[in-house]
Structure 1
């Protein structure tokens, strides 16, 4: 759980520190974004082969190497003296951190019988969901109180403690020394994921398809995905088992996971600049204002952990989706003068909604999936969530930028001495419109109004996207969480063979 929380935190914890890192490392605005891009690309590429690595070398060995590598890379990131060093070290962070979340999920599912998995997935979900939510809060506090280097140093003591715990307690799992690696399948998906992440991250600064660089990334993404799908259909032993996708619950859950990743990280990425640039809050205040969302998530996780086996998980996910959609619709009505109480309530409702969706989603996804596919399934689910997060952030920034330009151009048409409505409703401003100070004041007002409406468009787009989850949720079958007796006792970290897969309740 420590490794999972650290890896999830590092997807957003560095965001609020980027302006400070830019000055310290003498980097341009375009260059400093590689601190985020390198981590995301490496994590996306290396998540895919986690299932094979665990089966070939054992879950304990991969977890230990990943934890130690992530901890050392975090320490190196904090000690970096120039842009090249921190980009390389963040790349290593992504490489070693990729296996932490999927392997921890697979191990926790293996450790407990199906009737206890609601509690287990609630605990695991707290770590994976609180990371992106609390990342800006913790990052803002550490940057404000100490320096940006501490957003990386904070991983070191927890990484050391987790490594020692794994070494002493965790027992190794079965290894298949004869397992062959599908280099073709890995090469195709690595090409697709790497090019996609680069396209999404660089697109906003390179004018999207008006840039040759982005067009090249798009072509490589399409080529990689096409070759991967053809290879998966035709290969005797493809990189990802084909039978895994015949499980309706797992396939539907993967699509919902994509949407959850997109909406969760996009909303987390939009709120800090909204509160800082429009609301006038400091970095620390922004972090504290985003904290209540985490309390809502914890409350939902605890509720699902206690009653998840008794209630229909589809109902729980529907309630959570409704909460997320409602909160995003409410956020679309916000202005910079939003009352603190309303901001607090909406944030808690949104966090509660994400928690109500995420924990039951992991229960349903793996309840009917055969045991031999769990590690691959967990890696694929985490990969889908990460890709959804990357696409969600890039699309939300694109909508924000385009909306702001369009709204500003539309409002500017009315900023004229010939507009009699302006003379009647804003007489003092109209009288000064011929002066530079009056023009600057009106220009600032137009900019603020355009930004408010652009953020509203983004929140409305995310609210509409979250509604897609409703039909997908009810395409799933309700699994049974009562009839899977354990066939043998397990020591911590040992994967016992699964018994018969419980028949889903009609």
Structure 2
């Protein structure tokens, strides 16, 4: 089936830009000062949202000791936040159309900052988990809304460049999270990993009020209440089941199967409902767009591989090499540096020649770096490891946001909010699945190596290390490193599979609509 849009529709929404778009700069592809200011506000909000995921990961052991609870319960500070994100993301597209992106973005910031302040006042683990859910309700809307606001501001010819800007927080989050979290917890207290969001959030809120263009009220579509009852709990239950796999150790556990099956059934029911509803909560008809369809497949496999493997290296550096949380974060920094080099270049090239070739190069570089990681040992040299991470970063900068661009580039002005929502749902779901799969593979491989567990434990306990023969520790660390290396193989296979849908991404610049022409411009 083809998605055919008459030129008059495109001209109304893209050729004649809204007042906040600088048409001269849009024509030559440069990002004008106004767009860059909008991008700065969006990046500020996105950094807070993404940082809070990685910072809390570092803080889980502290929550265990502070609230005298188990790791499994403390980990709910992560799971609760993720499930709140999953619940609210499907609503974002409709809410943006109904209330306006500026108002909704500011409301999301308020929720996020309020949740952050409440988290800092938590008196037990249950209250902390509840406040993290409030925080997640705001955080879940920040990224899709940010994508929508920036895409509308920049116009269809500069999407690659604005996506490159929006990729900055996705890069900085995993790098700065462990560094910032380790510093705040060690030198201050765990409360500050949440309180730090208060001044940043107030600045972002003030800037959004001043800089974002005013919302233009439009007649809203009817709210898909049935879709909400199917999609939001369905996605949340499915992700809960998936997130429970590492703790349960098997996909056959009741805690995994029951919510997972119910969630999957609700999502399947939503698909049938959405295809029969005029204004569904999540517009699945966007899949009629060929570029978006292949971008979704590419993003799914990429997110599973990249975000799933992202947990491996910090764990390897801490558990096998005995590095501190802060040092592990610093050692991973070359990956972010590599991505920061290629992301702006990739953004410009995507606007000129389409995303297909850029993404293929990116996946190739990612695969090259990941192939090295499949060979890590307990004594792999740090210069070689840092070089591999730098190459991986170069590939990441050419892959993630250009794939997002491929999805958004051919959508109309009115479809962008729904398209951004769809891509963020895919990103969140695939990342959660990848993390669960990688965690289970690593856990099982470590369990099969009898000396790995005691050797890893000895890295954190000098008393235990004194009771284990040095040769046993050395052998155990070798076994543990082998488990990590074999787990990286899973991520490498997923990356290589990503090449298949990436091959079908657009390899030419999207055609500019010629004024006066009456033919459709997006027949896929």
TM range (shorter): 0.7 to 0.9
- In 1, the alpha carbon distance for the partners of 2:408 and 2:251 equals 39
Deviation for aligned residue 1:500: 9.1
Q: Which moved more, 1:32-41 or 1:140-149?
A: 140-149
Structure showing greater radius of gyration is: 1
Q: Which moved more, 1:460-469 or 1:146-155?
A: 146-155
* Equivalent pair of 2:239/2:432 in contact (CA under 8 Å): yes
Q: Does residue 465 in structure 1 map to residue 507 in structure 2?
A: no
Q: Does residue 206 in structure 1 map to residue 248 in structure 2?
A: yes
Match of 1:290 in 2: 332
Deviation for aligned residue 1:228: 1.1
* Equivalent pair of 2:240/2:260 in contact (CA under 8 Å): no
Secondary structure of the corresponding residue to residue 310 of structure 1: helix
Q: Does residue 2 in structure 1 map to residue 31 in structure 2?
A: no
Q: Which moved more, 1:138-147 or 1:349-358?
A: 138-147
Q: Which moved more, 1:474-483 or 1:224-233?
A: 474-483
Q: Which moved more, 1:1-10 or 1:101-110?
A: 1-10
Q: How does 1:482-497 map to 2 (within 5 A)?
A: 483=512
Match of 1:125 in 2: 167
Unaligned runs of 5+ in 1: 411-436, 488-498
Deviations 1:155-203 (A, max 9, x none): 2221110100111222332334553211111111122211122112222
Match of 1:102 in 2: 144
Match of 2:85 in 1: 43
Match of 1:377 in 2: 419
Describe the shift of the 1:296–1:485 C-alpha distance in structure 2 as closer, same or farther (beyond 3 A): farther
Match of 2:289 in 1: 247
Match of 1:223 in 2: 265
Match of 2:231 in 1: 189
Match of 1:492 in 2: none
- In 1, the alpha carbon distance for the partners of 2:269 and 2:308 equals 30
Match of 1:63 in 2: 105
Describe the shift of the 1:209–1:321 C-alpha distance in structure 2 as closer, same or farther (beyond 3 A): closer
Match of 1:355 in 2: 397
Deviations 1:193-225 (A, max 9, x none): 111221122222224344322221122122212
- In 2, the alpha carbon distance for the partners of 1:226 and 1:170 equals 37
- In 2, the alpha carbon distance for the partners of 1:147 and 1:468 equals 43
Secondary structure of the corresponding residue to residue 58 of structure 2: coil
Unaligned runs of 5+ in 2: 1-42, 453-465
Q: Which moved more, 1:352-361 or 1:445-454?
A: 445-454
Deviation for aligned residue 1:306: 3.8
Secondary structure of the corresponding residue to residue 88 of structure 2: helix
* Equivalent pair of 1:192/1:223 in contact (CA under 8 Å): yes
Q: Which moved more, 1:35-44 or 1:259-268?
A: 259-268
Match of 2:30 in 1: none
* Equivalent pair of 1:259/1:466 in contact (CA under 8 Å): yes
Describe the shift of the 1:24–1:484 C-alpha distance in structure 2 as closer, same or farther (beyond 3 A): farther
* Equivalent pair of 2:222/2:279 in contact (CA under 8 Å): no
Describe the shift of the 1:171–1:282 C-alpha distance in structure 2 as closer, same or farther (beyond 3 A): same
Deviations 1:291-341 (A, max 9, x none): 221111111112223433334421111111011111111011112322221
Describe the shift of the 1:504–1:223 C-alpha distance in structure 2 as closer, same or farther (beyond 3 A): closer
Deviation for aligned residue 1:22: 1.3
Q: Does residue 452 in structure 1 map to residue 481 in structure 2?
A: yes
TM-score (norm 2): 0.84
Match of 1:318 in 2: 360
* Equivalent pair of 1:77/1:89 in contact (CA under 8 Å): yes
* Equivalent pair of 2:93/2:281 in contact (CA under 8 Å): no
Deviations 1:27-80 (A, max 9, x none): 211110101000000001110110100111111111111011111211222232
Number of aligned residue pairs: 472
* Equivalent pair of 1:133/1:290 in contact (CA under 8 Å): yes
* Equivalent pair of 1:478/1:505 in contact (CA under 8 Å): no
Q: How does 1:5-24 map to 2 (within 5 A)?
A: 5-24=47-66
Deviations 1:244-277 (A, max 9, x none): 1100111111122222322232222111221111
Deviation for aligned residue 1:482: 6.7
- In 2, the alpha carbon distance for the partners of 1:501 and 1:351 equals 41
- In 2, the alpha carbon distance for the partners of 1:369 and 1:62 equals 21
Q: Does residue 480 in structure 1 map to residue 522 in structure 2?
A: no
Describe the shift of the 1:308–1:218 C-alpha distance in structure 2 as closer, same or farther (beyond 3 A): closer
Describe the shift of the 1:409–1:166 C-alpha distance in structure 2 as closer, same or farther (beyond 3 A): closer
Q: Which moved more, 1:269-278 or 1:38-47?
A: 269-278
Match of 2:276 in 1: 234
- In 1, the alpha carbon distance for the partners of 2:518 and 2:508 equals 13
* Equivalent pair of 1:483/1:502 in contact (CA under 8 Å): no
Deviation for aligned residue 1:474: 1.6
Q: How does 1:249-398 map to 2 (within 5 A)?
A: 249-398=291-440
Q: Which moved more, 1:36-45 or 1:443-452?
A: 443-452
Q: Which moved more, 1:305-314 or 1:78-87?
A: 305-314
Describe the shift of the 1:409–1:500 C-alpha distance in structure 2 as closer, same or farther (beyond 3 A): farther
* Equivalent pair of 1:115/1:482 in contact (CA under 8 Å): no
* Equivalent pair of 1:76/1:89 in contact (CA under 8 Å): yes
Q: Which moved more, 1:370-379 or 1:129-138?
A: 129-138
Describe the shift of the 1:324–1:501 C-alpha distance in structure 2 as closer, same or farther (beyond 3 A): farther
* Equivalent pair of 2:341/2:394 in contact (CA under 8 Å): yes
Deviations 1:123-164 (A, max 9, x none): 111123332343223222332332322222222221110100
